Every structure is written in structure tokens, then in C-alpha cells.
């Protein structure tokens, strides 16, 4: 049995939902699993855990600054344990951009840090226009219009392939 920690960064909660699914799958494989938002990691002792997973969503082209800071601060300990990173973004809804090797945000992120996660994943996120502030809604609808996605302001759509998430949960259980 492993003691897994999943650290996540979310704005609208979708990455948290993905983490909950990962928690469910890894628990079913008899692991102990802790979920913790990046904002609550200042006192966290990573030594207590046998595997470390980090997940973060993209907002206006970037993962949260806090994720970079956490990784830079903990790179040494990350390297001593089985570890994984995953990114959540809506560009990953496109079949040619839904793999770690083809997703522009994940590729850029990896080029900006020196940590080399042992396992990687990218998951398509969710669009829920009614939840967004006016400017965000306008901007995302513009991006969707440009990239041929849904623009109806009432749209709430989950692009996430939950089978892909389940498979990653199995991978984490085994790593």
C-alpha cells in the first residue's frame, strides 16, 4: 500500500474534480490518498508520502505561479519518489493536442522547470460560461470562436475524457 499525495491548483473546481476521481481510483487499489490545494501546502511535509502527484489548470495560457514555486522549492524531494504531473486545459479537447507530447501548455511548462516528472498527463477541461465574470466570459467565448469551440453563453460542457482520467489513476496506483 502506498501513501499518495495529490496537490492541485484550480480556479473553478474542475481540476479538483479530476483529483477526486484519481483519489477514488487509487483508493480502490488499496492506497491511502490525500488531496490538498496548492494554497495549503506551506506546512506540508512531503517526506510523509511515498508518491507525489501534482495537477494544475491553465488560465490565460499559464499554470498558477504557486505551482512553479512549489515545484522549485521541492524539486529535490520530488526526485526521490515516484511522481507525476498533469495539466488541465481546453486546448486538450483537440485530438492533436491531447497528449503530453502534443499539448502546447504542458510542453511549455516542462521547458520552464528543471523537474522532470516521471509520469505526465493532460486532460481536457470544462467550459461553464455562466460561472465566469463578464470579461472572462467574453474572452473565453472569443478564444472558442477562434478555435471553433462552443460560443453560446449558456454553454456548460465538460470535454474531459474520464476514461483517460481513470487510466491515469491506475498508472499512479502502479508507479
Nearest alpha-carbon partner for 172 in 19, 14, 11: 19
Interaction with ligand FMN in 51-70: which residues (CB under 6 A)? 57-61
Residue 153 within binding range of ligand FMN, rule CB under 6 A: no
Reference 54, options 23, 86, 90, 28; nearest CA is 86
Q: Which of 53, 18, 22 is nearest to 124 (CA)?
A: 18
- Choices 30-38, 45-53, 69-77, 84-92; region in contact with ligand FMN by CB under 6 A: 84-92
Size of site (CB under 6 A) for ligand FMN? 21
Choose the binding region for ligand FMN from 21-29, 106-114, 125-133, 164-172 (rule: CB under 6 A).
125-133
The site string for ligand FMN over 15-34 (x = CB under 6 A, - otherwise) reads: x-------------------
The gap from C-alpha 143 to its chain's centroid, in whole angstroms, comes to 21
Question: Residue 55, SS3?
Answer: strand
107 contributes a contact to ligand FMN by CB under 6 A: no
Give the residue with the Cβ less far from ligand FMN, 27 or 94.
Answer: 94
Per the structure block, which three cell numbers stand in for 85?
Answer: 504531473
Give Cβ neighbours of residue 60 (< 8 Å, ≥ 6 apart).
139
Q: Which positions touch ligand FMN (CB under 6 A)?
A: 10-15, 57-61, 88-91, 125-127, 132, 136, 140
Amino acid at each position: 500500500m502506498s501513501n499518495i499525495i495529490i496537490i492541485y491548483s484550480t480556479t473553478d473546481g474542475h481540476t479538483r474534480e479530476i483529483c477526486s476521481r484519481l483519489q477514488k481510483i487509487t483508493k480502490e487499489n488499496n492506497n491511502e490518498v490525500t488531496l490538498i490545494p496548492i494554497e495549503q501546502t506551506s506546512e506540508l511535509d512531503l517526506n510523509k508520502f511515498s508518491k507525489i502527484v501534482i495537477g494544475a489548470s491553465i488560465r490565460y495560457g499559464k499554470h498558477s505561479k504557486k505551482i512553479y514555486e512549489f515545484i522549485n522549492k521541492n524539486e529535490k524531494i520530488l526526485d526521490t519518489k515516484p511522481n507525476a504531473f498533469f495539466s488541465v486545459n481546453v486546448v486538450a479537447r483537440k485530438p492533436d493536442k491531447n497528449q503530453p507530447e502534443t499539448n502546447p501548455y504542458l510542453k511549455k511548462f516542462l521547458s520552464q522547470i528543471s523537474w522532470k516528472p516521471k509520469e505526465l498527463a493532460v486532460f481536457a477541461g470544462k467550459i461553464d460560461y455562466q460561472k465566469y465574470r463578464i470579461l472572462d466570459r467574453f474572452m473565453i467565448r472569443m478564444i472558442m470562436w477562434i478555435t471553433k469551440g462552443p460560443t453560446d453563453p449558456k454553454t456548460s460542457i465538460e470535454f474531459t475524457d474520464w476514461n483517460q482520467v481513470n487510466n491515469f489513476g491506475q498508472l499512479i496506483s502502479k508507479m
